[in-house]
Structure 1
Amino acid sequence: MAAPAPKFTGASAAFGTLPVLKEERELGFIDHSWINIGLAIATWAFLLGGSTALVVGARDGIYAIIIGNVIGVSIMAVSVCISTGKFGIEQFTLMRSVFGPTGILILVGFFLAIYGVGWSAVLSIMFGRAISGVMNQVGGTHIGENDLGVTLFAILAIAISWLLLWKGPTAVKWLNRFVGPGKLILCFGILFLIFSHKSWSDIANAAPLAPFDDKRINFMIAVEFNLAAGFGWWPVLGNISRFTRTPRAALWPNLIGIFAAAVLGELVGLFAALSLGSHDPTAWMIPLGGAFVGVTALLFVGLANITAIVSIFYGMCLAMRQAGGRYFEALPWGVLTGALFLPVIVIAFFPGQIYDNFFKFLAWTALGFAPLSGVTAVDYLILRRGRIKQCDVFNDGADSDYAFWGGINPASFVALAAGGAVYYALFDPQSLAAHGPFVWVSASVPACFVAAIVHYVLTRTMVMPARRGGY
């Protein structure tokens, strides 16, 4: 007697890898927009703006923030959100059609280590510094920005995030209905305080905090930071888009919520950093607003970071369930999520090394996610023309269209390597040294397009003639 077919329920889709059915999708245009606004105006937007102020002043910073985000977010959104919104399939499961079932294991392991753990560590440490600032102001303590107290508060943020994550995407939706508008109020409040203390001419004439000698390189590095931020949304937004009701709700809130809201948050960070001489958002609030307003703002910063950590780790946990096969699929959701937070706890014991080198981490993520966005966009939109065989995505056998060669599509990985090599040749993420035409074209954009072109050529000349990949 044949085994019964699995039930495609909302719970199995929300906490596993099964497709989300139309009637189970909870996110309309407004809810998806608020989630994206809540993510984009997370205090990493302030930190991004502050990092931009390291190399450029206000006028160049405005241009760099807009240019970098509009390009990065647009390419990222069409590369992943259209497909997951259409099929309702977990993002990394769907990407088996690009990399193969074994290939996606490699991708998940590598990119989760870079992105999920790294970003969550940055956010949890920022939470620790924010709450330490509150304790110093209210309780009379003297917790330094890299002291053990920061680490302990960071671990508290991780624990709270784990408890919220246990509730799944519905908790994220309801939390962001409150946090999203609150972040907008916080942004406008900080802007009001900044311009209460400084005139526009003061801010516009403020020098960058730590620029290089060449102004052109400074500007393009600022653009590159913001391109990296746009491309860096790739691992998160696809798994949110799968819960949207319509293609319109899957795509456009990314450009409204992620682009527009991120630009607002980063401009706040840029102006505050130039006004106060620090790129760290946790150092702004009390000098700007005084004790009461500053403490209130810091508390809200901490809450905002928790919502961002939950959203990041939700996508990570789904990816691990997909990558780990039956073993991870059988693990209770709370156990899996708790295990993935353990590396973040370890990293939280090194707050200075992680938090103060945030802009280098940002550049390293772009080296991976810019090529990844190019490969996935050209594969789905041009090579497949929006068609995916859903049954084969879930088929681990050799008879699957997406088995490629031994479960790996070499074309996609060669393309990623080519894109990454182009990025590194133009811009060293560790030293921030620029080379060749970087000053005119950045590093992320060439890396994205080179990866897309290499993937297209290899697929047309190698994969398709071999009748692999279901193209």
Structure 2
Amino acid sequence: MSAPETTPPAPQSAPSTVPAGFSPRLYNEDLAPRTGEASWRTWDLFCWWMSAWHSLAGYTFAIGLLVLGLTGWQIVVAVFLGILVLLWGFNLMGTAGQRAGVPFPVFARLSFGVLGAKVPALLRAVVAVAWYGIQTYLASLAVMTLALKVWPGSETLTQTQVLGMSPLGWICFLVLWAAQLAVLYRGMEAVRKLSDVAGPVLWIAIAALAVWVLARVDWSIDWNHREGPALGTGATVSAVVSGAFLTVAFLAGPMLNFADFSRNSPDAKSIRRGNSLGLLLNGTAFVLVSVVIAIASAQLHGQAVTDPVELVRDIDSVALLLIATVAIAGSAVGINIILNFVSPAYDFANIAPSRISFRTGGVITAVLSLVIMPWHLYSSPVMVNYFIGGVGALIGPLFGIMIADYYLLRRGHVEVDDLYSDAPTGRYSYHRGTNPGAIAALVASGALTLLVAFLPGLAALAPYSWVVGVVAGGALYLLAEKVHPSGSLTAGPVHAAELPAQR
């Protein structure tokens, strides 16, 4: 007889007590330093990566590189190179978060100040909320496909529009919207358990889709397939490098707030192994499968199908259609919670910790994702490119500032207690709670990155906006600290690795 299942405690709405020396403006139990046993081990991070990669967005992004003029095998090379850069960045941010044992908005206080950290947190939250809504909407389209196939009578619910979406569309969207909120409302342990199940299951479903498409083309594909004219050697190399850095930009947001998850890992070794298996091995395998599906679909339809939902519509069997739809919708739920829901939940909690918990931050995220009506947002390339893309372009400078601060300036040293103190004498209070040098570096490097990303005359450099932002942000921050030292290094720091296990 098995032992009864226990339900992990959900995050509290507000802390009953605040530790001595900590400010209620900066602390609640969800933002607190890690205590107790670490739960996110190598297997959990491996599954996290499966949930993060196996999605409509991941497939569409990889196949979207065809527009650069790359062949199938060249896309795999480009994404693999990007994955190597991502592995470096995720290991750096993941290790820093694990040693400090705090979530991203608290870790950002190290560079930006205990109050100034609200700036990077809110920038990350804006991007995540927008993409959370868009991903939910895209998944609801797959659910609509299933509904129309199983219940033909539901066609009548698509003939009118309410705020830009049909009644059937609203039903499908709200079902997925509520399901995701229910998971996050149970806390980070529920997120971990969902990731552990969803990742492997979705891999099986995606592999099955690849087998189904391959069978329809007699198990033969052309790896030299391209959607445009052939490129010269120089142009090919440029396109491959551009594809690599576009891959980095695709996951730059989650890389920035990876501490939200890695802080719950037992050691840096678990993080590196989880990232190697989940990002390097699994990520490359997923790209291979995506390219196989795309090339096979091109042989069937004359051009690569960039939306897996279109392939699902070709399935005649209701049972297979149900499995495919569950896989697609499940992948959207998994990636949304992992990449676009957890981060803003913490970020909003950081605004007013005494009143907003992780759970409440999740509700705010869900409500905002509904209010912005993501179906309108997704249908407007201008809005996606200039608003979401513009804010997203600032992710590179933020990453550069935080990594330069932690590894180059502080050499991995941090006083965790001072991250929760708003006393004027606190190590990270700086000037009225904000580090002017970090803000100045963000503004200057952010302006440069936006010019690179959107100025027509610099279009050739646009794929490199992330790396430009990282280098500029880090360099300008170090320069600001050299010219006008913030003073946070003057009082005998304690090494972060000594703190989490002993709190």
For 1:96 and 1:134, how far apart are their aligned partners in 2?
Answer: 46
Give 1:268's match in structure 2, choosing from 284, 289, 304: 289
Range with bigger deviation, 447-456 or 66-75? 66-75
Residue pair 1:36, 1:258 contacting (<8 A) in 2 also: yes
Give the one of 277, 281, 295 matched to 1:256.
277
Q: In the alignment, does 2:454 pair up with 1:428?
A: yes
Match of 1:395 in 2: 421
Q: Which moved more, 1:420-429 or 1:138-147?
A: 138-147
Once the two structures are superposed, residues 4-37 of structure 1 have per-residue CA deviations (whole angstroms, 9 ceiling, x without a partner) of: 76499xxxx996111112x332122222222222
Instruction: Tell me, yes or no, if structure 1 residue 417 matches structure 2 residue 443.
Output: yes
TM-score by length of 1: 0.84
RMSD: 3.4
1:86: Cα distance to partner? 1.2
If the length of structure 2 is used for normalisation, what is the TM-score?
0.79
CA shift, 1:350, in A, is 2.1
* Change in CA separation of 1:219 and 1:30 when aligned onto 2, cut-off 3 Å: closer
Q: Which has the larger radius of gyration?
A: 2
Distance 1:4-1:204 versus aligned 2 partners, 3 A rule: closer
Shift of 1:73: 4.0
CA distance in 1, matches of 2:200, 2:470: 33
Instruction: Give SS of 1:101's match.
Output: coil
CA–CA separation in structure 2 for the residues paired with 1:92 and 1:161: 22
Paired residues of 2:125 and 2:343 also in contact (CA < 8 A): no
Alignment partner, residue 119 of structure 1 = 131
Shift of 1:435: 3.6
User: Which residue number corresponds to residue 193 of structure 1?
Assistant: 212
Q: More displaced, 163-172 or 200-209?
A: 200-209
* Structure-2 separation of matches of 1:119 and 1:50: 19
Q: CA deviation at 1:308?
A: 2.4
1:205 corresponds to which residue? 225
User: Would the aligned equivalents of 1:85 and 1:244 in 2 still touch at CA under 8 Å?
Assistant: yes
Letter in structure 2 aligned against 1:284? L
Q: Summarize the Cα distance change of 1:218–1:120 in structure 2 as closer, same or farther, 3 Å threshold.
A: same
1:453 equivalent in alignment to 2:472: no
Cα distance between partner residues in 2 of 1:413 and 1:67? 32
Aligned counterpart, 1:184:
203
Gapped regions of structure 1 (runs ≥ 5): none
Q: Distance in 2 between matches of 1:452 and 1:469?
A: 23
- 1:35 paired residue number: 48
**Equivalent-residue separation in structure 1 for 2:434 and 2:147 (angstroms):** 52
Contact preservation (8 Å) 1:37, 1:180? yes
Distance 1:93 1:304 in 2: 29
The amino acid that maps onto 2:79 is I
Q: Distance in 1 between matches of 2:263 and 2:122?
A: 22
**Which residue matches 1:223?**
244
Change (3 A) 1:372 1:468: farther
Shift of 1:108: 1.9
Q: Does 1:171 align with 2:190?
A: yes
**Residue range with higher mean Cα deviation, 385-394 or 43-52:** 43-52
Shift of 1:226: 0.8
Q: Which residue of 1 aligns with 2:352?
A: 324
- Between Structure 1 and Structure 2, which shows a larger proportion of helix residues? 1
Q: Which amino acid aligns with 2:270?
A: A
> What's the secondary structure of 1:387's corresponding residue?
coil
1:443 corresponds in structure 2 to 465
The CA deviation at 1:216 is: 6.6
The answer to whether structure 1 residue 353 and structure 2 residue 379 are counterparts is: yes
1:134 aligns with 2:157: no
Distance 1:465 1:147, change over 3 A: closer
Shift in alpha-carbon separation, 1:103–1:6, aligned structure 2, 3 A:
closer
Contact kept in structure 2, 1:96 and 1:402, CA below 8 Å = yes
Decide which of 369, 390, 396 is 1:344's aligned counterpart.
369
Separation in 2 of the partners of 1:449 and 1:238?
A: 21
Is the CA contact 1:286–1:293 (under 8 Å) kept in the aligned structure 2? no
Distance 1:466 1:201, change over 3 A: closer
| Identical amino acids, percent of aligned pairs | 14
Give the aligned residue type for 1:400.
G
Q: Match of 1:255, as an amino acid? A: S
Unaligned runs of 5+ in 2: 1-15, 299-303, 494-503
CA contact (8 A) 1:90 1:239 kept: yes
Match of 1:69 among 78, 83, 99: 83
The equivalent residue for 2:343 is 315
CA deviations over 1:236-260 (Å, ceiling 9, x no partner): 4211111111121134322331343
* SS of corresponding position for 2:177: helix
Shift of 1:457: 1.8
Distance in 2 separating the partners of 1:358 and 1:66: 26
